[in-house]
Amino acid sequence: MTIIGYARVSTQQQNLDRQIGALRAAKCVRIFQEKASGKDVKGRPQLERAIDALGEGDVLVLAEWDRATRSMMDGIAIMQRVHARRAAIRVLDKPHLDLTTPIGKGFLAFLSALAEDERERINRRANDGRAAARKAGVRFGRRQKLNSTQRQRARQMIAEGVPLRQVAREMNCHHTTISRLT
């Protein structure tokens, strides 16, 4: 039986030390780690490698369940993949769970649903914040390449028949920037 660990944080600024320490204390032989957002189920190559490394009777150890998944369906898919390899999952922050039993797996699916709910609440708060900022007059996106005086001058040059590429050279920008003014 091999004990394989997996640790993840969401951003480059976050630290994996706490999770790795817990996984080492759990006697993990190999620890897969990554810094990747949990919102996307496709962007976790180290989790994929950790599951692929499991053999029959092995155990995938997670410091926290929500470090591996952010949705109920994703959590269930992870459990199914691990089960198909005849391996087990152990979650360190939920020591009362025996994930080798149907009740333990059901409880883990419930925790995955809670993680999905948290992700939706994060998205809703972010969307509400963006809407409030728009209402307050905040402009999102890239800064405009040309100021209003430059845009007015470029339009005047175009009206005088100056080719777009020549206008762009004089305005020190790409010709597609000028073409959007017409």
> pTM value?
0.59
Is the separation of the CB atoms in 62 and 4 below 8 Å?
no
Residue 9's pLDDT is 85
Kindly name the residue from 10, 71, 148, 179 that is annotated as catalytic: 10
Residue 39's pLDDT is 62
Q: Tell which phi-psi region holds residue 86, choosing left (phi > 0), alpha (psi between -120 and 50) or beta.
A: left
Question: For residues 62 and 68, what is the distance between their CA atoms, to the nearest angstrom?
Answer: 7
Q: How confident is the model at residue 96 (pLDDT cuts 50, 70, 90)?
A: low
Q: Which residues of 152-178 are buried (b: 16+ CB within 10 A; e: fewer)?
A: eebeebbeeeeebeebbeebeeeeebb
Residue 77's pLDDT is 83
pLDDT digits (tens, 9 = 90+) for 64-80: 887 887 777 787 888 88
Residue 74's pLDDT is 81
Of the segments 10-14, 110-114, 136-140, which one has the largest average pLDDT value?
136-140
pLDDT digits (tens, 9 = 90+) for 111-130: 778 878 888 898 999 999 99
Q: Which residues contact 167 (CB under 8 A, 6 or more apart)?
A: 154, 157, 158, 175, 178
| pLDDT higher than threshold 90 for residue 102 | no
Q: Which of 67-71, 74-78, 88-92, 145-149 has the least mean pLDDT?
A: 67-71
Instruction: Assess whether 10 carries a catalytic annotation.
Output: yes
For the chain, domains (ranges, CATH) are 3-131 (3.40.50.1390), 148-179 (no CATH)
